[in-house]
A and B are shown apart, each in its own frame.
Chain A
Amino acid sequence: MKAFIQGTGSISAQDSTVFPATIREYEGNRLPVADPDYKQWIDIRQIRRMGRVIKMGVGASHISLQDAGLTMPDAIITGTAYGCLADTGVFLNKLVTQQEDMLTPTAFIQSTHNTVAGQIALMLGCHGYNNTFVHGAFSLENALQDGLLLLQEDPARKVLAGALDEITEYSHTILSRFGLYKNAHTQQLLRSGTPGTMAGEGAAFFVLGAEKNARSKAELTGVEMIYRPASAEETAGHIAGFLQRHGLQPADIDLLLTGRNGDVRGDAYYDNIETTLFAGRPVAAFKHFCGEYPTAAAFGMWMAVQALHTGQVPAAAMFKGHAPATLKRVLIWNHQHATHHSLILLTAC
């Protein structure tokens, strides 16, 4: 079960048209998306109803389709942990403050989690398979797994799969009360050595096909999730097993790309396995570019695909060791609160 990535598109805190040559730095406790002009992809009549995350998702999906030279996918699959939070907040606010009176439909309609996948289908006139996963830090991974299954069932398909999440004032305030964030500078975030990270948001999409073609940028070799491992040993065992299932050893991984986010509470978990299973292997990170959110691995995957395509790892991404001279295999390992681990294996093609 593998796929070729024919196109990618990302809307994030970085300007994807110039990244990684130019990197945006942030100071504070969040990395907001650098909003492009969405009107280049979305008709003005449709844009008026769309919340930010919908515009991000629709925009990133368009970029990936253009990149792949594809006008009509056979399937559209999205992943989102929080869904359309801004519209949910608008409707909740009116519901409470207006005491269930004189409410309007637009925010409610846009609040449903499948809004982005539905909008993409509507704009493309795509009657194909359409699905939305809403499972926290497993949302992207399930979207990718669903895509791989679709290609296994019918290799002729072209699958558009991606993930998206947004920060809103409500969500940021509430999540801050859980002690998740701290004020920092993105250049120092990864080595800050204190609890807390910086919040992020964004959307990234990938066009997947079973056959390699002229547009293919990398191979999506495998995806797995580990739910509530009992210990770091169990996680390490699972990672080794995942590599073995693809005929690989840890030493075959040219670059380990982790979801390290500068929160000592979670980064210790990466430290442990980086120094045992992956001793001596170069390690890179991506959350100092995009911030922490449940579907941030989508940005990491977007960055890794660019690296595999160009053969170059951005120097600013390196955390341990030197950027490898030849880049054949990248393993993305991301975890959220040590309970949700995901593994995405990418291979140069």
Chain B
Amino acid sequence: MADLKVQIIQQLNLQEVKPEDIENDQPLFKEGLGLDSIDALELIVLLQQHHNVRIANPEDGPEIFYSVRTMAEYITAEKSKQG
């Protein structure tokens, strides 16, 4: 999850945010890290680029991108499906 935090910070250009500032279960959107719908689209590409995991329906975004932990769990689950 540490790697994922670095990737998120880079992809979204989160200036002045360090990986250790993001808690595993902290909400990424709105009151949490303050991300919005454009960030969700950026995160979809992040998963594709760094983890070879695709999200076809952007409406699944809020659930998958709730926190760093939910993102990591989604990646693991998709990877196991890919075998």
Contact = CB atoms under 8 A, between A and B. Distances in A.
Direct A–B contact present (CB less than 8 angstroms): yes
Interface of A: 44-45, 47-49, 102-106, 109
A48 B34 CA distance: 12
Contacts of B48: 102
A44 B15 contact: yes
23 contacts: A44-B15, A44-B16, A45-B34, A47-B15, A48-B12, A48-B13, A48-B14, A48-B15, A49-B13, A49-B38, A102-B45, A102-B48, A102-B49, A103-B45, A104-B11, A104-B41, A104-B42, A104-B45, A105-B38, A105-B41, A105-B42, A106-B42, A109-B38
Interface of B: 11-16, 34, 38, 41-42, 45, 48-49
A341 to B, nearest CB: 41
A48 B17 CA distance: 11
Contacts of B49: 102
Contacts of B42: 104-106
A104 B42 CA distance: 6
A103 B42 CA distance: 9
B38 A106 contact: yes
A105 to B, nearest CB: 5
Contacts of A47: 15
Contacts of B45: 102-104
Contacts of A48: 12-15
Contacts of A49: 13, 38
A104 B15 CA distance: 18
Given A105-B41, A106-B38, A109-B38, 11 more contacts: A44-B15, A48-B12, A48-B15, A49-B13, A49-B38, A102-B48, A103-B45, A104-B41, A105-B38, A105-B42, A106-B42
Contacts of B34: 45
A264 B52 CA distance: 57
B49 to A, nearest CB: 5
Contacts of B11: 104
A45 B28 CA distance: 13
B5 to A, nearest CB: 16
A234 B13 CA distance: 53
Nearest to A101: B48
A48 B11 CA distance: 11
A52 B15 CA distance: 15
Report the 6 A-B pairs with minimum CB-CB distance, sorted nearest first. A48-B13, A105-B41, A104-B45, A104-B42, A48-B15, A45-B34
Contacts of A109: 38
Nearest to A109: B38
Contacts of B13: 48-49
Nearest to B45: A104
B58 to A, nearest CB: 11
A45 B38 CA distance: 13
Nearest to B16: A44
Contacts of B41: 104-105
A44 B21 CA distance: 16
A103 B46 CA distance: 10
